Amino acid sequence: MGTATIAMIIAIGLAARWVITAIKGEGGGGGYELASRDAQIQRLREEMDGLHGEVRRLAEEQSFMVRLLSEGGARPAGELSAPERPDGHNPETT
């Protein structure tokens, strides 16, 4: 895993720990405090879902880059072909 991925995982873990500690630390509050806490927990869940998606994307990018680097990155010029133009004219056939 890359450094950025590890840092995000640590940040997610610390945020979850902070939320759990805050919930356990506060005794029975009033109804307003409970609703406010529920809203905060929901917001944090949504943020953690977003971070999870970001970590997954970073991991996929990293594995793609590793695969490219392990293949050598460059292909011989004979294996590459010019893209076909929209008007149907292929530069390789002329």
Provide the pLDDT for residue 1: 59
Residue with token string 């970590």: 55
The sign of the CA dihedral 55, 57, 60, 61 is negative
User: Could you give the CA distance from residue 83 to residue 89 in angstroms, rounded to a whole number?
Assistant: 10
| Segment 15-65, tens digit of pLDDT | 878 877 777 766 555 566 778 888 888 999 999 988 999 999 999 999 999
| Segment 66-82, tens digit of pLDDT | 998 888 755 555 565 55
Question: Which tokens go with 23?
Answer: 């919930």
User: Could you give the CA distance from residue 14 to residue 94 in angstroms, rounded to a whole number?
Assistant: 62
**3-class secondary-structure state, position 39:** helix
